[in-house]
Amino acid sequence: MLNKPRYINVGGKLLDLAVPKVMGIINITPDSFYKGSRVTEEKDIVNTAVRMVEDGADILDVGGYSSRPYAKDVSPEEEKSRVFNAISLIHKELPDTIISIDTFRSEIALIAINECGAQIINDISGGESDENMFNVVQALNVPYIIMHMKGTPGNMQENPQYDDVVADILKWFSSKIVKLQSSGVKDIILDPGFGFGKTVAHNFEMLQRLGDFTVAGLPLLVGVSRKSMIWKSLGITPDEALNGTSVLNAVALLGGADILRVHDVKEAVQTIRLIEQVKNIRGKTKSNPDL
């Protein structure tokens, strides 16, 4: 296993990942799977961002294209109208807060970074949906979250199959990482893509083997918040999946997650604090068996 970098460079400032960070989800959409994450009015967008930062969010992830299974396509023009104004509003209200643009379209990423105040690109397609995305990442020299998705949101849940879900995703990541790093991209964050072209069984296997992804030597983002692997397993709804989210976030942190992408920031921050306590006790016990 390679040592993961402790810092990523965000807008000329170093974000320390020694303690895991929380990314709050802000969906400027009418149809994201969890209705509690949807905001469209300017006042609600700003209020949601402020609340998340007050609750401890380190990054705010703004997206205007629902990536839930079988989601309808959104035109580039509609996505632009949703996210550019939202990012600008949040940046004006919270100028010191890190904002990521959740998009697979390079033209939207470019404008969001250059003109609106975003500082990180979060690409659910890992460059598969837009062949110019890697060029934009290279030109902008910003952190890039590369997520694995099998297929597209419209078809990704139609009987996804793998020989070995973790090994197959690592192989896919490997070719992407080589291409990015060879072009000079320095800050790459891996997201295995829970729920994106995976069955419930695939998702739990990925979570159980999360440490395998650290072989890449890069920071790891995990997004299981209120997803179907929780509510399908428990026979509940996304609205009832907060407790399950906290449980699986704790498992992810113990498995090596560096960033948690969540709908519920306060609970994620509390989970991190408690897991850090566990880790600290483990470290003290190893160094002093008499404790």
What is the 3 state secondary structure string of 109-161?
A: HHHHHHHHCCCEEEECCCCCCCCCHHHHHHHHCCCEEEECCCCCCCCCCCCCC
Does position 123 have pLDDT exceeding 60, yes or no?
A: yes
Which H helix or E strand runs over 189?
A: strand 188-191
Q: Of these residues, 227, 273, 279, 282, which one is catalytic?
A: 227
In 3D space, the residue among 186, 17, 189 whose CA is nearest the CA of residue 100 turns out to be 189
Higher-confidence residue of 188 and 70: namely: 188
CA distance 227 to 258: 19
Question: How far is 180 from 73, CA to CA, in rounded Å?
Answer: 28
Does residue 109 surpass a pLDDT of 60? Answer: yes
Q: List the catalytic residue out of 261, 266, 273, 286.
A: 261
pTM over 0.75: yes
Sign (positive/negative) of CA torsion 45, 241, 57, 137? negative
Shortest CA distance to 97 belongs to which of 23, 186, 5?
A: 23
Mean pLDDT across the chain: 91
pLDDT at 228: 93
The confidence score (pLDDT) of residue 187 equals: 97
Identify residue 167 by its one-letter amino acid code.
Answer: A
The residues facing 122 across adjacent strands are: 102, 145
Question: In what order do the strands lie in the sheet containing 144-147?
Answer: 188-191, 144-147, 120-123, 98-102, 59-63, 21-27, 259-262, 221-222
Residue with the two structure tokens 């690409």: 123
What pLDDT sits at residue 68? 66
User: Mean pLDDT across the stretch 150-159?
Assistant: 67
**pLDDT by residue (tens digit) across 161-213?**
899 999 999 999 999 999 999 999 999 999 999 999 999 999 999 999 999 99
pLDDT above 80 for 285: no
pLDDT at 49: 97
Distances (CA, A) of 247 to 43, 156, 205: 32, 26, 16
Check if the beta carbon of residue 59 is closer than 8 Å to that of residue 100: yes
Residue 261 designated active-site: yes
Band the pLDDT of 290: cuts 50, 70, 90.
Answer: low
What CA–CA distance (Å, rounded) separates 230 from 203?
Answer: 10
* pLDDT of the residue at 146: 98
Helix boundaries (H) for the chain: 42-55, 76-93, 106-111, 133-140, 165-182, 200-208, 228-234, 242-255, 265-287
Amino acid at 113: I
Q: How far is CA 52 from the centre of its chain?
A: 15
What is the per-residue pLDDT for 4? 85
State the pLDDT confidence band at 125, using cuts at 50, 70 and 90: very high
Q: To 10 degrees, the CA torsion angle through 16, 111, 61, 149?
A: -100
Residue-wise pLDDT for 31-46, tens only, equals: 555 556 567 789 999 9
Domains of the chain: 19-286 (3.20.20.20)
Note if 13 is an active site residue.
Answer: no
